[in-house]
Amino acid sequence: MKIKILHCLLSQNIGGIETFLINVLRRIDKNDFYIDFISECETPAYNDEIRSLGSNIYQLPPRRKHPLQHRKMLYKLIHENNYNIIHVHKNSLADISAFTVCKRARVKSVIAHSHSSSTLTKIFHLLHLVNRKKIRRIAKYYFACNELAGRWLFGNKLYNEGNITIVSNAIDIDRFAFCQKTRDNVRRALGLQDNFVIGHVGRFISNKNHEFLIKLFLIAHKINPSSVLMLVGEGEVKTKIEKLVLQNGISDSVIFTGERNDVSELYQAMDVFVLPSFYEGMPVAAIEAQAAGLPCLLSNSISNEIALTSLVKQLEMNNLDIWLDAIKNTKKIENRENCNKRIIEERYDISSTVSKLEQLYRSFAYD
């Protein structure tokens, strides 16, 4: 009999959690596991592909607008489908409604999975700290994308006791390996043959620090007028960033791609990948960029575990001079290094992560 797993929660925008989940769904053994998802939007990220792979996506009312309805429908869903495991993905514990519903529904195997390492909102941070103690009485298993994320969500005590399992935000490395032909084709299609392309992949949300990125590009573009900034993604602050670009008169040099299904190809067109985030868990985009052989400039607020290869430089948060020097010292690399071996050794290839998850799911289902 198949092990039934429910993953909570898919958002509309492609982010680290969504990318992790689709990577797992593509590879997990469908003969042994059946996976469903819940979402609060009509068309969540990877909607069509998830359904084509045989999974259901159940839409629930938004928690903040309709908390009682959300909990009622989640309880009914869990009760009617008899899931063996509920796998809850969180960036903070400001809201633990999924866990309280699981407790009420008497789910035996509940996984709390940390994907971040902080929050910018003070009230969320306070709620997070309050709920951290409660979560230990509800969740049975604890996952995190790295040590920093594990300590953030669950606290140092739980981490030091060895109760947190690290589950890597792994990728399909073959999809991102550098290809000169792809690079030439993409740059030609975008009219970027002679440009120096500074790239960023990530949701337009506050912690990604897009405003600093625009300030940085303004100066870099004055020094090198052929430079172009490529921003891949969607999100709530995108309109604000678009206005900022327009106000500074650099619209012709900034490309907003929106969400794309060909991000692996867009990495090929870039010359440097920049991620100045205030905080992250284990950013999938930075792993993908390394797999593409790109020089990566990342903020030092991100765990140094992200440096899987020598391509990564971590820079002081919001120090324009340091970031500018790093960009100026980055040259086009036509013959990029193939980092697949190193990424596999660090266990960030999707095959090893899915194999680990399958073993864990089997043990949890029959525990």
Residue 163 and residue 218 in one domain: no
Mean pLDDT for the chain? 96
Q: Encoding tokens for residue 301?
A: 């607020």
Q: What is the pTM of this model?
A: 0.95
Residue 166 and residue 182 in one domain: no
Residue 242 has pLDDT above 90, yes or no: yes
Residue 206 and residue 161 in one domain: no
User: Using 50, 70 and 90 to split pLDDT, how confident is the model at 350?
Assistant: very high
The three-state DSSP-derived secondary structure of 95-163 is: CCHHHHHHHHCCCCEEEEEECCCCCCCHHHHHHHHHHHHHHCCCCCEEEECCHHHHHHHHCHHHHHCCC
Q: Are strands 141-144 and 272-275 parallel, antiparallel or unpaired?
A: unpaired
Residue 29 has pLDDT above 90, yes or no: yes
CA distance 70 to 125: 23
Q: How many other CB atoms sit within 10 Å of the CB of residue 17?
A: 23
Q: What is the DSSP string of 168-212?
A: ---B-GGGTS--HHHHHHHHHHTT-TT-EEEEEES-S-GGG-HHH
Residue 31 and residue 165 in one domain: yes
Residue 160 and residue 14 in one domain: yes
Residue 69 and residue 98 in one domain: yes
Residue 63 and residue 200 in one domain: no
Residue 183 and residue 124 in one domain: no
Q: What is the DSSP string of 8-62?
A: EEE-SS--HHHHHHHHHHHHS-TTTEEEEEEESSSS-TTHHHHHHTT--EEE---
Q: What is the DSSP string of 255-315?
A: EEEES-S-HHHHHHH-SEEEE--S--SS-HHHHHHHHTT--EEEETTS-GGG--STTEEEE
Residue 156 and residue 68 in one domain: yes
pLDDT tens digits, one per residue of 103-113? 999 999 999 99
Instruction: Check if the beta carbon of residue 180 is closer than 8 Å to that of residue 251.
Output: no
**227 vs 133, which has greater pLDDT?**
227
Residue 38 and residue 154 in one domain: yes
CA distance 92 to 152: 8
- Supply the DSSP symbol for 349: B
Residue 300 is predicted with a pLDDT of 97
Residue 324 and residue 336 in one domain: yes
Q: Residue 45 sits in a domain of what CATH number?
A: 3.40.50.2000
Residue 333 has pLDDT above 80, yes or no: no
Domain with 358, as residue range(s), is 3-170+350-365
| Nearest-10 crossing angle of helices 16-27, 350-365 | 80
Residue 363 has pLDDT above 80, yes or no: yes
Could you report how far apart the first and last alpha carbons of the chain are, in Å? Answer: 16
Residue 337 has pLDDT above 90, yes or no: no
Residue 97 and residue 231 in one domain: no
How many structural domains comprise the chain? Answer: 2
Instruction: Check if the beta carbon of residue 339 is closer than 8 Å to that of residue 171.
Output: no
